[in-house]
Amino acid sequence: MTALTRLRLIGLGLAAGVFVADQWIKGLMLGPLQLRKLGSIELVPFFRLTWTENYGVSLGMLTADSMEMRWLLVALTSAIALVVLIWMLRERALGDVAALALVLGGALGNIRDRFNFGHVIDYADLHFGEWRPFLVFNLADAAITIGVLIILARSFLSREKQETTGEPATEN
């Protein structure tokens, strides 16, 4: 097995792992925990499970308030996931592949929700009193956010390395 094949398999495996974990947790919310029915479960003073149906994309933008908009969002996010998959398969650095795999796995989890339910299931509610640093989110959202932050950090660090050495940055 070549190093590139191994790298691709790692990326696909990580994306699949994020997808499966996301769907498993959402299954717990729908099934055994009955979060939809309960509405909210306090776990610790700063974190609760709160049932939320997100009909939009990031930060509730592009709200799908009709069947046409729902399927348009499924198509749009699926196209973005395809671009991320192709990008991931072209990368040669493990850090970039891992970051893109997080984005891909999270995107697939949210696409499946929108396809099956017409909305994304969100449940993670981090709060400090009344202050919430984030909207209610899910594992897929967290994976996407972490993946994007890694991509941005690696991009900035790579550019900084090029500027200080005057040479193209090497793959790591």
Kindly list the distances between the CA atom of residue 96 and the CA atoms of 4, 21, 26, 147, 169, in Å, as whole numbers in the listed order: 13, 21, 27, 9, 14
pTM of the complete model: 0.88
Q: How many CB atoms lie within 10 A of CB 170?
A: 10
* Tens-digit pLDDT string for the chain (172 aa): 899 999 999 999 999 999 999 999 999 999 999 999 999 999 999 999 999 999 987 666 678 888 999 999 999 999 999 999 999 999 999 999 999 999 999 999 999 999 999 999 999 999 998 899 989 999 999 999 999 999 999 998 876 666 666 555 555 5
Check if 122 is active-site. yes
Check if 113 is active-site. no
Q: Which position among 22, 113, 122, 125 bears the catalytic label?
A: 122
Residue position matching structure tokens 């003073």:
45
Residue 22 neighbours by CB under 8 Å, 6+ apart = 105, 106, 109, 110, 138, 139, 140, 143
1 three-state secondary structure:
coil
Residue 119 neighbours by CB under 8 Å, 6+ apart = 53, 54, 55, 64, 113
Instruction: List alpha helices for the chain, DSSP H.
Output: 3-30, 35-38, 67-90, 94-117, 139-165
Instruction: Identify which of 113, 137, 23 has the alpha carbon closest to the alpha carbon of residue 64.
Output: 113
pLDDT at residue 162, as a whole number:
62
Alpha-carbon span 106 to 19, nearest angstrom: 6
pLDDT at residue 172, as a whole number:
54
